[in-house]
Amino acid sequence: MRVLLIIFFGIGSSCGLLAQVEERVYKDSFDQLAKEYGKYDPTSELDSLEKYGRLAWDLANQSKDSLLMVRALIMKGNMFERLGNVDSALSCYERGLEMSVSKAFRERRKYLLNFLGSLHYDQSFYTKALRYFLASLKMREEDGNESEIAITLNNIGLVYYQIHDRDMAISYFERVLEIKRRHKQNFTPTLVNLGLCYTAVKKHNEAKAYYHQVIDICEMESCQEDLAEAYLGLGLSFLDEEKYPEAEDSFELCIKISRENHYENRLILSYFNLSKIQLRKDNFKRALDLSKTSLDLANKYQALKWVGYNYEQMAIIYSKLNDFQQAYSFFTKYDSINSKLLDEGVVKGLADLHANYKEYDNNRLISEQNKTIITRTTYLVVFLILFVFVTLVVIILYRSDRFRKRANKRIHDTLVELRTAQDKLIYQEKQSAMNRVIASLAHQLNSPLGAVKALLEPLNDSFMTLISSYSLLEEPVMSNTAGVPGNDIKTMEPFVIHQHRQLFQSHIRHVHDMTERMAYLVKTMQVQANPKSMLLSSERVDLGENIRETANTFAIPRGIRLEIDLPSLPVYVQGDKVALIMAWQNIIKNAVEAMGNEGCLTIGLQIVVGRAKASFTDDGMGIASAVGEELFEPFYTTKEKNYHTGLGLTICRTVLENHGGSLTYTSETGITVFIAKLPLCDD
């Protein structure tokens, strides 16, 4: 009997071990298939994706493992989605969701809810999309994962944007922006979405501010998809304001980026809106060609909504061309597609879903309040018990209380002394910094003042000599110059006067230059003490002429070549002419000092999407990458501190920001580019 029991338990243990090994083998094989599946490009290697997706499904069926079957259904649904078989993809995702609910696979359930919502959103079935997204948001808020909450909030905002509830969309996108900024995540797509919402509600200044933020960030970080989206949104804003040249430029930039990176939806939208511009300009044939291009792309990528919009636009164009038969045909096609996308109950269904979500939110708040009440009651009971205990020992603690008060007083006095010492140190540091600035300014002022004093005496002597020479030539005793012909004396008179006049004018110029230098240094101190004092006046300034005047009057060494590339037409900005000249002087001065005695300084100016962009490029030694934004901090300098205050670039950025612009730079070995951007005049 004992032998039989040993054999029985041995067989049972072996079977269990074999089952664990078999389960592990299936899981490893499935993980390998999933890894291979993820290697292939969904735009060009669909056959390989289909092969590995089907292999994963067969392996999961063989294993009878529920989790592997759910994962296989997700892969299979993803495969059908990429193949364009939407119905099969929906079927796979719904089966996976059903299994996840029954087997309590919470993580897979969250992802499947988002997949189903996104798939319905892409097909313009917004009621179903919102239902799935709200269910996903409920689970993610229960888990408290803010990154996942932000993803679902963004999806819900997109649904409200599509059904024209812009205020709700803005509220959701602002929540997403708050979360992403708090976690230091990429928030440029959210800025684009906010820009699109504000464009839709006709708040174009706010919208363009968001778009320009995205453009500035993407130009530095090379995020092409967000850059394309920003140019598309900027074009829509200009189109709504009927600024057609700016709108066309923005859409063309979006098309260029989208072609290079295969952003199909943005290509469809850009061509559609370019067609709309041509239609408004009564260029019907060009509008028809652009609309056909948008329609072909929409058909190719199965964008049913934009197929309908293009049908409607082409019908309008044909009616303008008096081809009413074609117009009727396209209106019929548009009506057919529109009836598939929209139904009378969509808005009501969305409102009901939102009301249900609000009801869930209220129930959750009530539950939390009940928990809070129970917790407070528990605390109250504990407090009463402690109070009784404290009452019993209060006599023992009475004496220690007096000691504790004295100790607290000593601690308080010590903290006050520490705070006083800290404030004193901060004040001394600030005073030291200000003293360094004042000492540097005094040192710089002494040299020009000394030069002015030294030039006054030669100036006076030259002037007196000029007067004496002129008086001498005017005397009537020319008869004493018997040996000199009369014509020579007449020639000698203008020569002497001209010689002393040149010397006189040279001294005057020196005095003027030194005075200008003194004024510039005094203004530097004023700017650092109060940046707003830089904008002394506001006038229309021709930026090209302003830059050219600064460059031509700057004392550039002979070994440095200056190349100026400015547009032939004036580029007007609103601001302080003198302040801008000071900013350009600082940038040019830094470039010249970086190049030493030889090199090339290139100055350019162009207009980019409604803003003036000035660039200053030198081929000096460059700026170390570790410096970064610290370059614009006050008193920071990479040069010898005895001769430089480190205020130049700080002043430049302050000037440009006070003008509503910006100053950035890029640098590598052998080339450094400072880029200044300023808003153009409204007219």
State how far the Cα of 650 lies from the Cα of 663, in Å rounded to an integer.
10
In percent, the amount of the chain with pLDDT more than 90 equals 5
**Secondary structure (DSSP) of 221-235:** H--HHHHHHHHHHHH
The confidence score (pLDDT) of residue 152 equals 87
Would you say residue 98 has pLDDT above 50?
yes
Q: Are strands 662-668 and 671-679 parallel, antiparallel or unpaired?
A: antiparallel
The residue among 663 and 515 whose pLDDT is bigger is 663
Beta bridge partners of 662: 677
Q: Residue 614 has which token pair?
A: 């000035």
Residue 334: other Cβ atoms inside 10 A:
20
Q: What is the DSSP secondary structure assignment for residue 604, as one 8-state letter?
A: E
pLDDT-based confidence at residue 35 (cuts at 50, 70, 90): low
Give me the amino acid identity at 147.
S
Residue 391 φ/ψ, nearest 5 degrees: -60, -35
The confidence score (pLDDT) of residue 210 equals 85
The confidence score (pLDDT) of residue 676 equals 94
* Region of residue 104 (left: phi > 0; alpha: psi -120 to 50; beta: else): left
- Coil vs helix vs strand at 35: helix
Q: Which of 18, 37, 24, 30 is nearest to 69 (CA)?
A: 30
**Please, what sign has the CA dihedral across residues 526, 532, 537, 540?**
positive
The confidence score (pLDDT) of residue 407 equals 83
The confidence score (pLDDT) of residue 354 equals 52
State how far the Cα of 231 lies from the Cα of 255, in Å rounded to an integer.
9
- Give whichever of 123-137, 360-374, 463-477, 512-526 has the largest mean pLDDT: 123-137
State how far the Cα of 307 lies from the Cα of 123, in Å rounded to an integer.
12
The confidence score (pLDDT) of residue 616 equals 94
Would you say residue 241 has pLDDT above 60?
yes
Helix or strand holding residue 438 (H, E): helix 346-474
What is the rounded average pLDDT for all residues in the chain? 76
Torsion angle in degrees (nearest 10) through CA of 589, 591, 595, 600: -110
Would you say residue 435 has pLDDT above 60?
no
The confidence score (pLDDT) of residue 402 equals 82
State how far the Cα of 214 lies from the Cα of 230, in Å rounded to an integer.
6
Q: Residue 406 has which token pair?
A: 């004295």
Contact, 548 vs 564, CB < 8 A?
Answer: yes
Residue 542: other Cβ atoms inside 10 A:
16
The confidence score (pLDDT) of residue 100 equals 84
Kindly report which listed range (121-125, 155-159, 350-354, 438-442) carries the lowest average pLDDT score.
Answer: 350-354
| Helix, strand, coil percentages, rounded to 5, for the chain | 75, 5, 15
80: Cβ contacts below 8 Å, ≥ 6 apart: 86, 88, 89, 92
The confidence score (pLDDT) of residue 232 equals 87
In percent, the amount of the chain with pLDDT more than 70 equals 70
* Region of residue 202 (left: phi > 0; alpha: psi -120 to 50; beta: else): left
pLDDT-based confidence at residue 211 (cuts at 50, 70, 90): confident
**DSSP E strand boundaries for 566-629:** 572-575, 599-608, 611-618
State how far the Cα of 568 lies from the Cα of 207, in Å rounded to an integer.
31
pLDDT-based confidence at residue 677 (cuts at 50, 70, 90): very high
Contact, 239 vs 279, CB < 8 A?
Answer: no
The residue among 538 and 237 whose pLDDT is bigger is 237
Q: Residue 213 has which token pair?
A: 């933020």
**Secondary structure (DSSP) of 347-362:** HHHHHHHHHHHHHHHH
**Arithmetic mean of pLDDT, 194-204:** 86
Contacts 24+ apart (CB under 8 A), 432-435: 433/635
State how far the Cα of 571 lies from the Cα of 610, in Å rounded to an integer.
11
Residue 275 φ/ψ, nearest 5 degrees: -65, -40
Q: Residue 370 has which token pair?
A: 């009940």
Structure confidence by residue, pLDDT tens digits, 608-635:
888 999 999 998 888 888 887 877 777 6
State how far the Cα of 301 lies from the Cα of 455, in Å rounded to an integer.
79
The confidence score (pLDDT) of residue 664 equals 92
Structure confidence by residue, pLDDT tens digits, 438-464:
556 655 665 665 666 566 567 666 666
Q: Which of 265, 344, 347 is nearest to 306 (CA)?
A: 265
The confidence score (pLDDT) of residue 16 equals 46
Question: Cα–chain-centroid distance for residue 358?
Answer: 34
State how far the Cα of 135 lies from the Cα of 342, in Å rounded to an integer.
23
**Arithmetic mean of pLDDT, 244-252:** 89
pTM: 0.43
Would you say residue 296 has pLDDT above 70?
yes
Would you say residue 13 has pLDDT above 60?
no
State how far the Cα of 229 lies from the Cα of 263, in Å rounded to an integer.
10
**Arithmetic mean of pLDDT, 94-123:** 84
Place of tokens 């948001």: 137
Q: Which of 221, 177, 219 is nearest to 197 (CA)?
A: 177
Q: With both helix axes pointing from N to C terminus, report the angle between 66-83 and 2-37 in degrees, rounded to the nearest 10.
A: 20
Helix or strand holding residue 244 (H, E): helix 244-261
Would you say residue 46 has pLDDT above 60?
no
Would you say residue 258 has pLDDT above 70?
yes
Residue 445: other Cβ atoms inside 10 A:
14
- Coil vs helix vs strand at 579: helix
pLDDT-based confidence at residue 663 (cuts at 50, 70, 90): very high
pLDDT-based confidence at residue 239 (cuts at 50, 70, 90): confident
Q: Which of 265, 259, 216, 206 is nearest to 237 (CA)?
A: 206
pLDDT-based confidence at residue 656 (cuts at 50, 70, 90): confident
The confidence score (pLDDT) of residue 446 equals 57
The confidence score (pLDDT) of residue 30 equals 59
Would you say residue 369 has pLDDT above 80?
no
Residue 483: other Cβ atoms inside 10 A:
6
- Coil vs helix vs strand at 561: strand
The confidence score (pLDDT) of residue 14 equals 41
Would you say residue 290 has pLDDT above 70?
yes
Would you say residue 25 has pLDDT above 70?
no
Would you say residue 93 has pLDDT above 90?
no
Q: Residue 442 has which token pair?
A: 């005094």
